[in-house]
């Protein structure tokens, strides 16, 4: 796969991480980056990376794949042209702003026979894989229920809620994780939530009971209300209770603490830790897996993963509808 030319669209936190990883990846050339904000492009121009004002300009320069790291509200318009030109895409979760857009993108990817992947780094987390293997081997018997939670910091929440909700931004990780761990799909939801950080914007908290296709159920909790004074700005985990045992996974990634004269700080030790100047961890494994798909045609597993990404959006929409209506909402397959 020597000479794979990859670009990144959207140079916020995640886009910058993607670009750093591609630039250090063997057999990959970071062919360019795109962002509407010229200030975000300046550091990459200084590094000698080609910068482009539009996706079209980057496509014209020649790329085989793109990472899409823009806000979800503009993803549809950003992704359509590359897919039409048969450029493979890895998009940060969720796949799209809504089910209708997600379905359209899936159909376009299938029609053009091009790879369209969605970034779920927990699928590359060693802790999750160990738990998944234990469940598959029958170590806990039949799964009876899951408890799964993801709570982030209020400083991030105040920024993010203007363009999305805690359900689409955080809960979607866990919605995707449920079938990955147990194979069961969400079939119905009953949810409650609130806007705590202000009357305008998306939901800031959500608590839900999920019915699953195998007869089990899940308790889901998400918020971005942790105070800025908390040393780690993420509290996350999953518990899978079986009829003969239990799997418990601590998914807090900021679990390395450094204390000194200036106070304490937490460091990511799982998703994108820096080792010898390079980013490693779950995100790098995810990007390496994406690049590996470019050497083969779209296969059944690629299509199944894309189907699941569309279903994840459908479940998140059902959660929001349940919060707004106070009613139980069925989730179509």
Q: What is the pLDDT of residues 85-114, one digit of tens each?
A: 999 999 999 999 999 999 999 999 999 999
The reported pLDDT for the residue numbered 148 is 98
Q: Is residue 181 part of a domain?
A: yes
CATH number at residue 52: 3.40.50.720
% of the chain with per-residue pLDDT over 90 = 90
Q: How many CB atoms lie within 10 A of CB 37?
A: 10
Residues 116 and 142 in one domain: no
Residues 224 and 109 in one domain: no
Residues 134 and 161 in one domain: yes
Residues 166 and 98 in one domain: no
Residues 100 and 128 in one domain: no
Q: Is residue 204 part of a domain?
A: yes
Residues 58 and 157 in one domain: no
Mean pLDDT, to the nearest integer, of 212-224?
98
CATH number at residue 205: 3.30.360.10
Residues 109 and 184 in one domain: no
* pLDDT tens track for 254-311: 888 889 998 888 889 999 999 999 999 999 999 999 999 999 999 999 999 999 999 9
3-state secondary structure the chain: CCCEEEEEECCCHHHHHHHHHHHCCCCEEEEEEECCCHHHHHHHHHCCCCEECCHHHHHHHCCCEEEECCCHHHHHHHHHHHHHCCCEEEEECCCCCCHHHHHHHHHHHHHHCCCEEEECHHHHCHHHHHHHHHHHCCCCCCEEEEEEEEEEEHHHHHHHCCCCCHHHHHHHHHHHHHHHHHCCCEEEEEEEEECCCCCCCCCCEEEEEEEECCCCEEEEEEEEEECCCCCCCEEEEEEEEECCCEEEEECCCCCEEEEECCEEEEECCCCCCEECCEECCHHHHHHHHHHHHCCCCCCHHHHHHHHHHHHHHHHHHHHHHHHHHCCCEECCC
Q: What total number of domains does the chain contain?
A: 2
* pLDDT tens track for 10-28: 999 999 999 999 999 999 9
Residues 75 and 167 in one domain: no
The reported pLDDT for the residue numbered 1 is 40
Residues 24 and 108 in one domain: yes
Task: Using pLDDT thresholds of 50, 70 and 90, give the confidence band for residue 159.
Answer: very high
* pLDDT tens track for 177-209: 999 999 999 999 999 999 999 999 999 999 999
Residues 68 and 110 in one domain: yes
Task: Using pLDDT thresholds of 50, 70 and 90, give the confidence band for residue 232.
Answer: confident
Q: Is residue 271 part of a domain?
A: no
What is the average pLDDT score of the chain?
A: 95
Residues 115 and 140 in one domain: no
Residues 113 and 207 in one domain: no
Q: Is residue 277 part of a domain?
A: no
| Whether residue 2 has pLDDT greater than 70 | no
* pLDDT tens track for 60-72: 999 999 999 999 8
Q: Is residue 49 part of a domain?
A: yes
Mean pLDDT, to the nearest integer, of 156-164?
94
Q: Is residue 308 part of a domain?
A: no
Q: Is residue 302 part of a domain?
A: no
Q: Is residue 172 part of a domain?
A: yes
With b for 16 or more beta-carbon neighbours within 10 A and e for fewer, the 95-125 pattern comes to: bbbbbebbeebbebbeebebbbbbbbbbbbb
| Whether residue 57 has pLDDT greater than 60 | yes
Range of the domain at 156: 123-252+313-330
């Amino acid at each position: 796969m020597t000479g794979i030319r990859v670009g990144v669209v959207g140079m916020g936190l995640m886009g910058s991480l993607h670009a750093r990883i591609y630039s250090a990846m063997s057999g990959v050339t970071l062919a360019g980056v795109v962002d509407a904000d010229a200030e975000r492009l300046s550091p990459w121009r200084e590094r000698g990376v080609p910068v482009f004002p539009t996706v079209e300009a980057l496509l014209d320069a020649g790329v085989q794949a793109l990472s899409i790291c823009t806000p979800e509200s503009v993803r549809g318009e950003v992704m359509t042209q590359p897919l039409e030109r048969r450029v493979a895409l890895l998009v940060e979760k969720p796949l799209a702003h809504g089910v209708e857009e997600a379905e359209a993108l899936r159909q376009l990817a299938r029609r053009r026979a091009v790879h369209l992947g969605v970034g779920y780094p927990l699928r590359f987390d060693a802790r999750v894989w160990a738990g998944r293997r234990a469940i598959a081997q029958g170590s806990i018997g039949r799964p009876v229920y899951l408890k799964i939670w993801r709570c982030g910091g209020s400083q991030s929440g105040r920024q993010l809620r203007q363009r999305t909700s805690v359900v689409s931004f955080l809960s979607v990780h866990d919605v995707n994780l449920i079938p990955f761990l147990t194979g069961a799909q969400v079939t119905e939801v009953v949810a409650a939530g609130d806007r705590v950080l202000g009357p305008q914007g998306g939901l800031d908290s959500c608590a839900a009971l999920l019915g699953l296709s195998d007869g089990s159920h899940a308790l889901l909790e998400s918020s971005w209300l942790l105070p800025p004074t908390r040393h780690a700005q993420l509290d996350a985990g999953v518990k899978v209770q079986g009829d003969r045992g239990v799997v418990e996974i601590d998914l807090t990634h900021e679990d390395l603490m450094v204390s000194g004269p200036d106070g304490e700080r937490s460091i990511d030790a799982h998703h994108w830790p820096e080792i010898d100047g390079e980013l490693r961890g779950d995100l790098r494994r995810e990007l390496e897996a994406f690049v590996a798909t470019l050497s083969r045609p779209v296969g059944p597993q690629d299509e199944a993963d894309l189907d699941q990404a569309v279903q994840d959006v459908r479940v998140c929409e059902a959660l929001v509808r349940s919060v707004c209506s106070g009613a139980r909402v069925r989730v179509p397959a």
